[in-house]
Amino acid sequence: MSIIVNGKTIDYIEQETVSDLLNRMHYTFPLIIVKINDKLIKRTQYDKTIIPDNAIIDVVHMISGG
C-alpha cells in the first residue's frame, strides 16, 4: 500500500489527512496547493480530507516575485 507524492512513492497511512501528510513530508511553506488524483483540495478541507490508498498527490508551492 502506497501513495505517490510529487512523483515519489511513499507508504500509505490509513486515515491520514492532507494536513497529516503535509506535516509528515515537512511541507511548511504557507502558499501550497494540493491536488489528489487531479482534484484540487481546498485549504479549508485539509484537516477533513482523507487520502485514499494508491492516490497520486501533487503539492505545489506557489511563488511570487517581481
Which residue ranges form the domains of the chain, and what is each CATH number?
2-61 (3.10.20.30)
Q: Is the pLDDT of residue 15 over 70?
A: yes
Contacting residues for 21 by C-beta, under 8 A, at least 6 apart = 5, 51, 57
Q: For the segment 19-50, what is each residue's pLDDT rounded down to a tens digit?
A: 999 999 999 888 999 999 999 999 999 999 99
CA distance linking residue 4 with residue 56, whole number of Å: 5
Contacting residues for 45 by C-beta, under 8 A, at least 6 apart = 18
CA distance linking residue 36 with residue 42, whole number of Å: 11
**Amino acid 3: pLDDT:** 98
**Grid-cell match 487520502, residue found:** 51
Alpha-helix residue ranges (DSSP H) falling in 1-66: 18-24
Q: Average pLDDT, whole number, for the chain? A: 95
**Amino acid 55: pLDDT:** 98
**Amino acid 14: pLDDT:** 97
Q: What is the pTM of this model?
A: 0.90
